[in-house]
Amino acid sequence: MKLVFAIIQNDDAKKLIRALVREKFQVTRIASTGGFLQGGNVTLMLGLEAARLDEALSIIKEQSSRRKEYMVMPSSLPGYMDASPAPVQITLGGATVFVVDVESHYRY
């Protein structure tokens, strides 16, 4: 038995959850915040048989797209308050996945 934690961007959550449920994975969604830009993240938790781990990881990889966007970073340097900062390209999306062995589990 495995426990999978997948931290993804909020924008990818609906399509990923739909794809996992379509393949009969049970998913728990936990709202979370953190990382660069303090953006909206979602942590998905899946308990699954070890034999289905590669299938779940493949779905997570396919549905958690990485994309590039431009963002204007606020300038906090003294004397530069009137200057317009240039847009900076950042990469958003993707997934950070943790897989944990489960010694035992119970359903009541």
Domain assignments of the chain as residue spans, ordered by start: 2-65+94-101
Spatial separation of the C-alpha atoms in residues 51 and 64, rounded to whole Å: 22
Instruction: Look at the block and give the residue holding tokens 């728990």.
Output: 28
**CATH 3.40.800.10 at 2-65+94-101, yes or no:** no
Spatial separation of the C-alpha atoms in residues 55 and 96, rounded to whole Å: 16
pLDDT tens-digit series, residues 14-71: 999 999 999 999 999 998 876 655 567 899 999 999 999 999 999 999 998 777 767 7
Contact between 82 and 66 under an 8 Å Cβ cutoff? The reply is no
Q: Where are the alpha helices (DSSP H) in 1-108?
A: 10-22, 53-63
Residue 21 has phi, psi (to 5 degrees) of -65, -40
Q: Is the dihedral of CA 52, 54, 58, 60 positive or negative?
A: positive
Least confident of 9-13, 61-65, 85-89, 98-102: 85-89
Q: Which residues contact 50 (CB under 8 A, 6 or more apart)?
A: 1, 2
